[in-house]
Structures are given as C-alpha cells and as structure tokens.
Structure 1
Amino acid sequence: MKYIFIILAPPYTSKSSGVRALYRLCHHLNEAGYPSAIKADREVRPSDWNVPFHRGAVGDSIVVYPEIVSGNPLRAGKVVRWALNDPGLLAGDTTYPDEEMVFVYDPQKLETVSRAVSEPLGPNRVLWTGLIDPEVIFPDASVPKTIDCSFTHKGRALRERFPLPPGLSIEALEDRTPDMAALGDTLRRTRTLYSYDHYSNVLREAAISGCDIRVISEEEGWHDPRGCSCQKNIWWQDNLVENYARKFRDSSFTHDFVREVHTRWPVPEAAPLRKQSDRFWKVLWPRR
C-alpha cells in the first residue's frame, strides 16, 4: 500500500509521551483519511489504534522524524521534523536544514525550536494531539486517596539535589505503573504527586485524576506547576479536565497539519473514512 506519511518511531511504549504522540499522530491521520504508517525496529501496536506498519523503502512518502532522530536515515525526499522537545536535548540534532518542514508539539516551544531553523516558526507549525486516554485516566471521587507518590523520570539530577519532604511515606510512581491501566488506578488513589520532572504529560494526567501536584525548582522549591511561570513548565490548556477526552478522539487537527505540508509538497486529497459532505472537502481542498 502507498502511504502519504511514514512516521519513524521507537517501538511503542505507554511510558513515553513522545512515543505515544508519534503513534497517535499515525492513528489520527488514518482516521482522517490520509493513509499513514509507522516504521519501527520492533512492531508493537497499541490496541484499537489505527496504526499499520511499513517495512519497505519509503519511496516518495513524506517521512516524519521526531527530534531525537539525527539526519535523514531513511533518505526521504520529503521530511517533516516534529520537535516533541528541545532540539538535541535528549538526542538528535540541534539544527535542521531548510529542506525540512519543522513542527513543534508544544506551542510554548516555538521560540526555542525557531533557534534551530533559519526562519522563525509561526503558530501554523504547531502539531498538537491529545494523549490522555479517557478510558484509563479519569477522576473518581468514590476512590479513597490513600497514598502519596513521587515521579522522577527526566529529573534524576534534581532528585539528587532536592530530597523529598521529610516524614512522609512516598511510593515511586514508576514502581507501581507497568502500564496505562495501572497508572490511572494509582493516580486516582494518590493524594499528592511529587514530581522531579517539570515537563511531563504525567502532570496533566495527575491533575485530571484529582491529585495535588508539586514540582521542584531551584527558585520556588516544591510548588504547584499549574500556577507557576517556570521555563520548563508544560502547557496547561484551558478547561483541561472538561476537554481532554474530546482532544484524545478528535482527528480534525490533522487537516490543518496537512494543509501546511501542502504548501511545500503536493498531498493527495483525503479519502474520508467517515461520511463528510462534499462542501467540507471543497473547503478543505479548494480547486484551482
């Protein structure tokens, strides 16, 4: 099968928000009618997600690389670079060539990622997809909150410098959560989550689950990230609890993404998998 987009990704794991984003993008592109596939060393498919795998050459497909991939290992002629974090922070290159179309996941990263390209990026280069599955992450007031948890992840250096508050019995979230179902169950039982990682989707998941949240910084000590101005803070969307389920399921954001890609390379019209009016598709792809 010919794919419009091929996404190079690590093997799927629910423990990485960046990996989940890559697979979720593939799912939404397919749901919106843009045939897409994942290319990975090991094929692990999230259940119920529309995620096929591609094993051959990429041909003239548009290849999407996350920022942790250096260069153009698939030798694609059309490259989209999706910066899910700061360029070069975790891996990959610190600058990107003009031949690539660069997008950011977090709109707060536009200024940072713009330093990696020759021209500043605008809001049309934000590619955001909801990652919080309402089937496993949800509040439940009937569940008693009986534990406090810590979360370290990318904050190992901070943990060495700032110990947890004394006198508390705190369990490591990572030890209790081998999968997403366990994460949801644990967060619904957690009173306070103490996080050394200020830039993690887990903070949003904890907020939705009804946890108090504390993160650490040199300037503010332990504090609630939902009201701070720390440079590394995640993007807290308005009405997070009310809207997260819709954003997880809504594939409509892909049309803006494809329209922007279409300004550089021809993209075939979508073959809608769900009924759409003729007027909708004429607006999306006006004939010239």
Structure 2
Amino acid sequence: MKFVIWAPIYNDNSGGVIVLHKLASMLRDMGHIALIWPEPKPSRHELKSLCGWVKLAKWIKFLIKNFLKKRRINTRYDLQIAKELDIVGAVVIYPEVVAGNPLNSRCVIRWLLNKPGVINGVKEFGGEDLFFYYHKHFNDWELNPHEDRHLNVLELMTDVYQKTNDGDRKEQCYMVRKGRNRALDYHDASAREVDGLTHAELAKVFNECKYFICYDLYTMYCRYASMCGCIPIVVPQEGLSREEWRPEVENRYGIAYGWEDSQWAIETRSKLLENLAESENQGVDSINRFVDIVERYFSGKFN
C-alpha cells in the first residue's frame, strides 16, 4: 500500500511529530510505500486560495534557509518527501490538528494524537474519514466508536535515555509543555526548567535529578525520566482522579500522580521498563492490524 503522512518538519521536542515520522518509518520498513508531506508545503489543491500561496511563500523561504545552512529536511528516519503525483492512489494520514482535506485525497485517515479540538480547536473532518486513536483518553467515541482502531507507535530512544547515575540525587527539574495554563507552583523554586532541551541534554538532567515535576498530564517525557532513574511526578488536575487520568493501571507504572504516589513510581519502575519493551514489540502488530483495517475500509477506492 501507499501512504502519504501529513506531518510538520521533524522536531525532536514534539512527541506528536516524532510518532508521525516513526509511523512512516515503520510502514516503509514493513514493505509499504510511506512518504511524508511536510507542513508548510502546500498542495496544488491549496494553491486555489490565497492561504495556499502564503503557505508556498513560507515553504520556499524554509527551503532556502535550510539549503543555505546545509540542513537535510527528510528527518532522522531518512524518509522521502512526497510529490503531488504521490497523492494519487495513496491513503493520506492526518493528525487531528489538520482541518479539512488539504491534499484532496479520496482516502483519509485521522490519527487522534490528542482530543480533537484541544490543541487548536480543529474539528473539521470528513464524513467518510477513518479514525484511529493513539491512546484511549485521546479518542472521541462519537467519531470513532471502534475500540480496535487503536494505533500506538512508540519511540523509546533507548540509545539516549538510560540510567547512568546510581549515586545520590537531590535536585528537582520540571517541564511545562501543554500545562502552560496551569498554576506552576508544584516544584521547588530551585528546580531546573527543562522545556526546550534536546534529548541528550534532557537525559543528562534526568540522570542528575531525583524528581521530574511535569505539568503536562500526558507526555512521553515522564517515561523517559523514569528510564533514567528520575522519579516523574505528574501534577494532578483538580477534579481528575488517578483512575480517570490513566484508567489502565499499566499506564501508571513508574509515574506518580502527585507527591503521594512517589513510592508507587519507585516500586513500579521495573514494570514500566518491561511494559515499554513489550509495547515497542507490539507496535508491529498494531501497524499490521491498522493496515488490515485500512485495506478493508477503503476497498475499491485504490483504483
């Protein structure tokens, strides 16, 4: 099968961007054609509007800037950039933040990497779009009532996130990310802010600190911290219980929901590591199931 995945230019600090590119990489490695359509590259369909020409100007400026700095734009996975003709006969995968169908594809998948509308208010989807969710708490059960339409791809970066410090730890670090509208008063005044650090820099800090205070309720960085031996403390949201935050107990392994859960995080860290290794292996099964559903759903539209 041929897939074109709409995705922002690769960004090591965006979990959503990482998994979009990782999905393309895994599909390609499994024998499918998987190409990236990078934002803000406009399609021919978008050039029928003024907004499309504005996007074209941004895209040209981006290409010139990266050419002058000798930067490659096809991501750490060495993915190929899709051309206009590649859209023909392809299934296009959009994250939930994309409104409408900018590539004018006949076969559209929406991958819910967050609750629709939460990040940018977008809820403009097609009536025949096929929906998959990344986690159950991101799914919109009215749009997608099918529990088996679950597509979970992990990028553990085990070459970066490893425990290298078995000595004493005392410091705190903290991250805001999608928790920027919350009261930032859960960490010590001396805590180190880690928003915007590279993965290598983060792994170093996680190996120096005892606690990682996270104002973002749902982020892979909590698991990265635990992989480095740092105790992740997710700042609880008022009115949201521990079970409502993460209904499946295995998704709470190695992570504290508030200070009172810190011992739980320590005691279940080994279970988290085992679970992550198993989940990474299950990613291939998840993609095989995904492809099977896609083939059946869009049967007859590929010709």
Q: Please, what TM-score do these two structures have when normalized by structure 1?
A: 0.77
Instruction: Assess, with a 3 A threshold, how the Cα gap between structure 1 residues 220 and 193 changes in structure 2: closer, same or farther.
Output: farther
Alignment pair present for 1:53 and 2:81:
yes
- State the secondary structure of the residue aligned to 1:174: coil
- Given that 1:5 and 1:64 are in contact with CA atoms closer than 8 Å, whether structure 2 keeps it comes out as yes
Deviations 1:218-254 (A, max 9, x none): 5389xxxxx9224478981763312434644653431
Instruction: Mark the runs of 5 or more structure 2 residues left unpaired by the alignment.
Output: 42-61, 63-71, 254-270
Instruction: Assess, with a 3 A threshold, how the Cα gap between structure 1 residues 243 and 214 changes in structure 2: closer, same or farther.
Output: closer
- State the secondary structure of the residue aligned to 1:242: helix
Corresponding position of 2:185: 163
Q: Distance in 2 between matches of 1:102 and 1:14?
A: 26
Corresponding position of 1:185: 204
Corresponding position of 2:15: 17
CA positional deviation for 1:164: 3.6
- State the secondary structure of the residue aligned to 1:82: strand
Alignment pair present for 1:71 and 2:93:
no
Instruction: Assess, with a 3 A threshold, how the Cα gap between structure 1 residues 94 and 262 changes in structure 2: closer, same or farther.
Output: same
Q: Distance in 1 between matches of 2:8 and 2:221?
A: 20
Q: Distance in 1 between matches of 2:109 and 2:152?
A: 14
- Given that 1:148 and 1:169 are in contact with CA atoms closer than 8 Å, whether structure 2 keeps it comes out as yes
Instruction: Assess, with a 3 A threshold, how the Cα gap between structure 1 residues 231 and 164 changes in structure 2: closer, same or farther.
Output: closer
- Given that 1:31 and 1:251 are in contact with CA atoms closer than 8 Å, whether structure 2 keeps it comes out as no
- State the secondary structure of the residue aligned to 1:187: helix
- Given that 1:143 and 1:188 are in contact with CA atoms closer than 8 Å, whether structure 2 keeps it comes out as no
Deviations 1:205-228 (A, max 9, x none): 11222222222235389xxxxx92
Corresponding position of 2:273: 241
Corresponding position of 2:160: 136
What is the aligned-residue identity percentage?
Answer: 24
> Using CA pairs below 8 Å that are at least 6 residues apart, which structure has the higher relative contact order?
1
Instruction: Assess, with a 3 A threshold, how the Cα gap between structure 1 residues 140 and 220 changes in structure 2: closer, same or farther.
Output: farther
Deviations 1:192-216 (A, max 9, x none): 1111111111112112222222222
- State the secondary structure of the residue aligned to 1:142: coil
Superposed CA RMSD in Å reads: 2.8
Q: Distance in 2 between matches of 1:92 and 1:22?
A: 20
Corresponding position of 1:270: none
- Given that 1:151 and 1:195 are in contact with CA atoms closer than 8 Å, whether structure 2 keeps it comes out as yes
Superposition pairs of residues 1-288 of structure 1, within 5 angstroms:
4-40=2-38, 41=41, 44-47=73-76, 49-57=77-85, 58-91=87-120, 93-94=122-123, 96-110=125-139, 113-115=140-142, 117=143, 120-142=144-166, 145=169, 147-158=171-182, 161-166=183-188, 168-174=189-195, 177=197, 179-219=198-238, 228-231=242-245, 236=251, 239-245=271-277, 247-248=279-280, 251-266=284-299
- State the secondary structure of the residue aligned to 2:156: coil
Amino acid at match of 2:185: P
- State the secondary structure of the residue aligned to 2:148: helix
